[in-house]
Amino acid sequence: MAQAMKKSACPNLFVAAIDFGTTYSGYAFSAKDDFEKDPLKISANHWNAGAKSLISHKAPTCLLLNPDKSFKSFGYEAENDFIHLAGESDDDDSDEENEEEGYRKYYYFHRFKMVLHNNKDLSMTTNVQDEMGKTLPAIDVFTHAIRYLKDHLFKTLSDSFDGITLGDIRFVLTVPAIWNDNAKQFMRLAAITAGISKDNLTIALEPEAASLYCQYHSLKDENDEKEQFRKSTGSSNCYMVVDIGGGTADITVHEKQPDDSLKELLAATGGAFGGKNVDDAFKSFLEDVVGKDTIEKFKNECMEDFIDIFREFETKKRSVTSDEGKSNKVTMTMPVSLNDVVKKNSPRGQKLTLNDVVPNSIYGNEVNFAKKNQKLHISHKEFVKLFKPAVDGIIKHMEGILNQSDFSHVKNILMVGGFSECEILQASIRNKLKQNRIIIPEDAGLAVLKGAVLFGHIPRAISGRVARYTYGIQSWPMFNDRYHPQAKRVTVGTSVRCRDVFFKFIEIGQQVTPGHREAQVFQVLNPSENSLECTVYASTERNPTFVDDPSCHQLGILRVPFARPANSTQAVEIEETLIFGETELRVKAKDLATSQEYEATLNLLGNQI
């Protein structure tokens, strides 16, 4: 590693990363002094999973709120608290009206992060639905969860280091690289609302963090050979990063630079192909077996047992392999309560049971039910099919990149993220991409979390990124009959101008270094104004013509407050600068006459906090 990559650039005593995942979340930290001695001296929290005293580095992304919407619990504790509340209601013989006064009054949010994925309408008023259909503002739900993780982390540090304050910690919050700018801003605002100072908060992109971690970490390849990642890639400095978590798959290409920094060669692509996709497929499978209405009633009436089924499925999902010879069937316990709901939901005059509906379902030849021990036996072939939509989506994106002439030479593929530990996924990728070398770290599920800690120490370890959009603003040039349509012709004062013209700052696919600046000067003509507003647009085309082209969407509004001398009638000229190449889009503004700089706010979410 180059010397610059061994010295922490963080001014704080500690760097603490929060990996807020779709399925699981956790945190890790390291001291500045420890990083410079051993970058991999990173402490990850241990969560007590409850059952059989299992210990995990991450906790389920589950949040339980009291009926008054105040915080009750998070993670395994939230899961167990809610199951206990639901169990009390299920055991209660009171009428349904009183049941509504029980666990249903609580708010239980599970795997709610995906509300931010690819949501162009995301705003401060966006709601998220809990497991029972009740809604709350998403910003409140995310804030509760981040505050808990922040407070838990701070207590852990405080127990070991006397006199520590929040100001001693640089917080790093991870987000998928494929997220839009508005989702990143949403997470930043939720973290600030949760009590993290904006000056001590960094946003890290998940595949970058994982890729950075693997530069320091020794890996085992498919032959169980252990070596430094940078050596394992051979003479090639390019490799594909495939970060697959519970919700999304982020796929990009990185190139190692002579100074040991990483340069992004391809803007991250991917989609909702994480482990949750398999859970959704299993739920659809159950609905096909016993009926969608039956599963919905089962969830509403027997929440405790409903959760237990998916807990068991999570275990089976992690243990099953692609080798049918090892196990030709997967066995799962079906609670007696599901059989009761099937009976209650039978057509009039019939009292069907699982023993009746399973063999008559569309999976009759692949699934059978053993009434004696309440076991549902699913053929290995059918169980593996549950992974197919996610696996196919991931491989399709990988092949799409490798088939491009710019990346056809890429042979090394680094797989990270919790879902990348799935043997079925690994086997499918190796079978499909035989010419490529698949490299998976032993702790693939922690690569993002620990890499985010490293990123907090050395943010300049990422020396180049690729613009995901063409960014620009609305401009009003002089009207030209040769180029401009008459429908865009407007008169402003004494001049004839063309409205809605897209003034480009940078274009999609452009390589930019962190801190890359693009500026434009605006003139404030109205003497009564004390602020300037400018709308920023993003496009999926390289050279959009107008801001209302189909490829364009309004990204946000740039607001610049400024001060002018009393009774001044002189026009004010403001230079607005957009800063690209970092994990978030930043803005600055300056009065050209006085050189005074102003804090500019790019509002991507409508109503702010």
What is the arithmetic mean of pLDDT over 160-176?
A: 95
What is the C-alpha to C-alpha distance for residues 410 and 416, in angstroms, rounded to an integer?
17
Q: Are 128 and 144 in contact (CB under 8 A)?
A: no
Is it true that domain 3-217+446-462 has CATH number 3.30.420.40? yes
What is the C-alpha to C-alpha distance for residues 462 and 176, in angstroms, rounded to an integer?
16
Which residue do the tokens 């709610």 mark? 112
Band the pLDDT of 231: cuts 50, 70, 90.
Answer: low
Question: What tokens appear for 589 in the block?
Answer: 């503004």
Q: Of 200, 198, 219, 201, give the one whose Cα is nearest residue 210.
A: 219
What is the arithmetic mean of pLDDT over 529-537?
A: 83
More confident: 282 or 237: 282
Q: Which whole-number Å values give the CA distances from 338 to 100, 291, 300, in the listed order?
A: 21, 11, 11
Q: Which helix (H) or strand (E) holds 592?
A: none
> What is the DSSP code (8-state) at residue 103?
G
Amino acid at position 374, single letter: Q
| Residue 94: partners with Cβ closer than 8 Å, 6 or more residues away | none
What is the C-alpha to C-alpha distance for residues 599 and 605, in angstroms, rounded to an integer?
18
What is the C-alpha to C-alpha distance for residues 21 and 246, in angstroms, rounded to an integer?
7
What is the C-alpha to C-alpha distance for residues 382 and 582, in angstroms, rounded to an integer?
44
What is the arithmetic mean of pLDDT over 122-151?
A: 96
What is the arithmetic mean of pLDDT over 138-155?
A: 98
Question: What tokens appear for 420 in the block?
Answer: 């990348």
Where is average pLDDT lowest: 12-26, 125-139, 217-231, 415-429? 217-231
Amino acid at position 518, single letter: E
Average confidence score pLDDT of the chain: 89
What is the arithmetic mean of pLDDT over 353-370?
A: 91
Percent of the chain with pLDDT over 70: 90
What is the arithmetic mean of pLDDT over 580-589?
A: 91
pLDDT, one tens digit per residue, over 264-280 is 999 999 999 999 999 99
Is it true that domain 467-603 has CATH number 2.60.34.10? yes
Tell me the residue length of the chain: 609
What is the arithmetic mean of pLDDT over 64-86?
A: 94
What is the C-alpha to C-alpha distance for residues 417 and 419, in angstroms, rounded to an integer?
6
What is the C-alpha to C-alpha distance for residues 320 and 314, in angstroms, rounded to an integer?
10
pLDDT, one tens digit per residue, over 20-33 is 999 999 999 999 99
What is the arithmetic mean of pLDDT over 269-292?
A: 94
Question: Does 94 have pLDDT greater than 70?
Answer: no
Band the pLDDT of 562: cuts 50, 70, 90.
Answer: confident
Residue 593 has what pLDDT? Answer: 79
Sheet holding 329-333, edge to edge: 329-333, 375-379, 367-370
- Residue 218 has, within 13 A of its CA and on its CB side, a CA count of 4
Q: What's the predicted TM-score (pTM) here?
A: 0.90
What is the C-alpha to C-alpha distance for residues 214 and 230, in angstroms, rounded to an integer?
8
Where is average pLDDT lowest: 141-150, 160-169, 529-538? 529-538
Question: What tokens appear for 503 in the block?
Answer: 């003034």
The overall longest dimension of the chain from CA atoms, in Å, is 90
Which residue do the tokens 């316990």 mark? 333
- Residue 85 has, within 13 A of its CA and on its CB side, a CA count of 22
What is the C-alpha to C-alpha distance for residues 318 and 432, in angstroms, rounded to an integer?
21
First to last CA, the chain: 42
Band the pLDDT of 97: cuts 50, 70, 90.
Answer: very low
Question: Does 230 have pLDDT greater than 70?
Answer: no
What is the arithmetic mean of pLDDT over 507-527?
A: 86
Residue 390 has what pLDDT? Answer: 95
* Per-domain boundaries in the chain: 3-217+446-462, 275-385, 467-603
What is the C-alpha to C-alpha distance for residues 596 and 367, in angstroms, rounded to an integer?
72
Where is average pLDDT lowest: 10-19, 340-349, 359-368? 340-349
Residue 154 has what pLDDT? Answer: 97
DSSP character string of 480-535: -TTTS-GGGEEEETTEEEE-SEEEEEE-TT-EE-TTEEEEEEEEE--TT--EEEEE
Buried b (16+ CB within 10 A) or exposed e, 354-384: beebbeebebeebbbbeeeeeebebbbeebb
What is the C-alpha to C-alpha distance for residues 472 and 244, in angstroms, rounded to an integer?
32
Residue 101 has what pLDDT? Answer: 61
Band the pLDDT of 371: cuts 50, 70, 90.
Answer: confident
Helices (H) and strands (E) in the chain, counts: 16, 36
pLDDT, one tens digit per residue, over 393-420 is 999 999 999 999 999 999 999 999 999 9
What is the C-alpha to C-alpha distance for residues 271 and 3, in angstroms, rounded to an integer?
37
| 3 state SS for 146-191 | HHHHHHHHHHHHHHHCCCCCHHHEEEEEEECCCCCHHHHHHHHHHH
What is the C-alpha to C-alpha distance for residues 425 and 389, in angstroms, rounded to an integer?
11
What is the C-alpha to C-alpha distance for residues 585 and 410, in angstroms, rounded to an integer?
29
Q: Of 606, 572, 604, give the one whose Cα is nearest residue 589.
A: 572
Band the pLDDT of 520: cuts 50, 70, 90.
Answer: confident
What is the C-alpha to C-alpha distance for residues 297 and 294, in angstroms, rounded to an integer?
5
Q: Classify burial at 409, counting beta carbons within 10 Å of its beta carbon; exposed 0-12, middle 13-18, buried 19 or more.
A: exposed
Q: Which whole-number Å values give the CA distances from 207 to 182, 184, 441, in the listed order?
A: 19, 15, 14
Q: Of 58, 69, 72, give the one whose Cα is nearest residue 22.
A: 58
What is the C-alpha to C-alpha distance for residues 53 and 64, in angstroms, rounded to an integer?
22
Amino acid at position 42, single letter: I
Residue 233 has what pLDDT? Answer: 57
What is the arithmetic mean of pLDDT over 40-66?
A: 85
Residue 189 has what pLDDT? Answer: 96
What is the C-alpha to C-alpha distance for residues 414 and 438, in angstroms, rounded to an integer?
6
Q: Are 258 and 277 in contact (CB under 8 A)?
A: no
Tell me whether strands 375-379 and 367-370 are parallel, antiparallel or unpaired.
antiparallel
What is the C-alpha to C-alpha distance for residues 335 and 325, in angstroms, rounded to an integer?
28
Residue 24 has what pLDDT? Answer: 94
Residue 609 has what pLDDT? Answer: 42
